């Protein structure tokens, strides 16, 4: 009887020892208990949405967005597995997974080493966004960054590879940018009765459809200045009509007498968003010099014309009268 009890105690002791050895040994490969050692990485990615709260301009410096990558292990026996990896680090790679064609996105550093722990451990990286000049204004889009941790451990205490995707949305800003070409210069000498025409070519170099407002800033007394008040321009990269030519017509004062007048007329050309009129660009101030030189006889041209007609009529009448007289004299001679 005593031997039987001793045998049972031995069996129980060995069984308990085997179970404890199976649980706590990192080298154990006991099939039903291995799964308890398996711990998965858990990620937490944080960044400040204020960094991309404002639209990103295609002509601005790269926008830098700091991101914080936190990771820890998660599992039934994470408190047991964690000490086994003391001194080891997660190898975490950062990839640009998706980005618009007209943007350039980088992440630095592309590789992070973060200690393995059952509590959160972290590292920092920076995402940089640069937009091409052809980025479409007001486009709402996003970039995707893949964050991948490599596999760690043996079959009994494996920490598998895992990944998470970070999405950062942003809006493309509108850039009101013009180029202006004064096709015939900005200085002309004309007679007082002539009109100085200045063709002006305007190009939309921005990234959105643009309305152009033309304002006449100064008109000299007695002079007349005319031009179109507004034009609309499309975007070159979309195949729209992105340039137009407008004409500035300047007519000097036409008072009687000799003129030696020189005046400078100023206009402003300002771009506005066709979509949001409150978004405008820098005004371009243009100056045009006109030198009116010569003698003018306003109102006398019509009198001169009438006088010329009277003279011509008088000459014709006199000519006809002389012909009639000659014809009559010739007939008398024949009689």
Domains of the chain: 33-171 (2.60.40.2310), 178-296 (2.60.40.10)
* Higher-scoring residue by pLDDT: 36, 245: 245
CB neighbourhood size of 223 (10 A): 17
| pLDDT cut 70: percent of the chain above it | 75
Closest CA to 199 of 216, 214, 184, 180: 184
User: Do residues 29 and 156 make contact, with C-beta atoms less than 8 angstroms apart?
Assistant: yes
Beta bridge partners of 215: 268
User: Do residues 137 and 208 make contact, with C-beta atoms less than 8 angstroms apart?
Assistant: yes
Position 28 scores a pLDDT of 39
Position 87 scores a pLDDT of 83
Position 249 scores a pLDDT of 97
- Whether the predicted pLDDT of 240 surpasses 50: yes
User: Do residues 209 and 175 make contact, with C-beta atoms less than 8 angstroms apart?
Assistant: no
Listed ranges 8-12, 27-31, 38-42, 327-331; the one with the highest mean pLDDT: 38-42
Q: Strands of 111-115's sheet, edge to edge?
A: 111-115, 89-98, 140-149, 162-171
Mean pLDDT of the chain: 83
**3-class DSSP state of 18:** helix
Question: DSSP label at 174?
Answer: P
Segment 123-165, tens digit of pLDDT: 999 999 999 998 999 999 999 999 999 988 766 567 888 999 9
**3-class DSSP state of 252:** coil
Dist CA 275 CA 170 (whole Å):
19
Dist CA 262 CA 191 (whole Å):
12
- Whether the predicted pLDDT of 236 surpasses 80: yes
Position 12 scores a pLDDT of 53
Position 254 scores a pLDDT of 77
Dist CA 269 CA 182 (whole Å):
13
Dist CA 292 CA 262 (whole Å):
6
Q: Which token pair is 202?
A: 């305007």
CB neighbourhood size of 141 (10 A): 16
Q: Sorting pLDDT into bands at 50, 70 and 90, what band is 74?
A: confident
Position 237 scores a pLDDT of 84
Dist CA 45 CA 68 (whole Å):
6
Position 296 scores a pLDDT of 65
Q: Sorting pLDDT into bands at 50, 70 and 90, what band is 83?
A: confident
Phi-psi region of 315 (alpha: psi -120 to 50; beta: other; left: phi over 0): alpha
Dist CA 202 CA 231 (whole Å):
10
Position 270 scores a pLDDT of 97
Question: DSSP label at 55?
Answer: P
| pLDDT cut 90: percent of the chain above it | 58
**3-class DSSP state of 49:** helix
Closest CA to 283 of 271, 275, 273: 271
User: Do residues 174 and 208 make contact, with C-beta atoms less than 8 angstroms apart?
Assistant: yes
User: Do residues 151 and 251 make contact, with C-beta atoms less than 8 angstroms apart?
Assistant: no
For range 6-15, the mean pLDDT: 58
User: Do residues 214 and 230 make contact, with C-beta atoms less than 8 angstroms apart?
Assistant: yes
E strand map for the chain:
40-47, 63-74, 89-98, 103-108, 111-115, 121-131, 140-149, 162-171, 178-182, 187-190, 196-204, 210-216, 224-226, 230-233, 243-251, 257-273, 284-296
pTM over 0.85: no
Q: Sorting pLDDT into bands at 50, 70 and 90, what band is 30?
A: very low
């Amino acid at each position: 009887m005593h031997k039987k009890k001793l045998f049972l105690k031995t069996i129980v002791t060995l069984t308990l020892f085997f179970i404890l050895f199976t649980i706590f040994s990192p080298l154990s490969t006991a099939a039903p208990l291995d799964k308890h050692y398996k711990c998965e990485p858990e990620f937490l990615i944080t960044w400040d949405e204020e960094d991309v709260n404002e639209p990103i301009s295609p002509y601005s410096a790269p926008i830098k967005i700091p991101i914080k990558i936190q990771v820890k292990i998660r599992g039934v026996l994470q408190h047991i597995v964690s000490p086994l990896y003391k001194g080891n680090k997660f190898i975490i790679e950062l990839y640009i997974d998706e980005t618009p064609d007209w943007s350039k996105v980088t992440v630095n550093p592309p590789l992070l080493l973060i200690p393995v722990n059952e509590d959160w451990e972290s590292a920092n990286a920076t995402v940089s966004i640069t937009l091409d000049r052809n980025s479409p204004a007001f486009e709402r889009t996003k970039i995707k960054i893949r964050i991948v941790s490599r596999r760690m451990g043996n079959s009994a205490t494996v920490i598998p590879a895992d990944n998470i995707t970070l999405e950062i949305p942003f809006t493309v800003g509108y850039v009101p940018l013009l180029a202006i070409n004064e096709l015939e210069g900005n200085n002309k000498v004309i007679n007082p009765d002539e009109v100085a025409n200045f063709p002006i070519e305007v190009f939309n170099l921005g990234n959105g459809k643009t309305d152009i407002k033309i304002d006449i800033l100064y008109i000299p007394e007695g002079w007349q200045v005319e031009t179109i008040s507004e034009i609309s321009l499309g975007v070159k990269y979309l195949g729209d009509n992105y340039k137009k030519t407008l004409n500035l017509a300047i007519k000097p004062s036409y008072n009687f007498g000799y003129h030696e007048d020189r005046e400078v007329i100023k206009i402003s050309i300002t771009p506005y968003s066709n979509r949001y009129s409150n978004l405008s660009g820098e005004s371009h101030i243009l100056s045009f010099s006109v030198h009116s030189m010569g003698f003018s006889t306003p109102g006398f041209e019509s009198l001169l014309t009438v006088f010329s007609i009277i003279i011509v009529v008088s000459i014709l009448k006199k000519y006809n009268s002389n012909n009639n007289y000659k014809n009559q004299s010739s007939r008398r001679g024949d009689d």
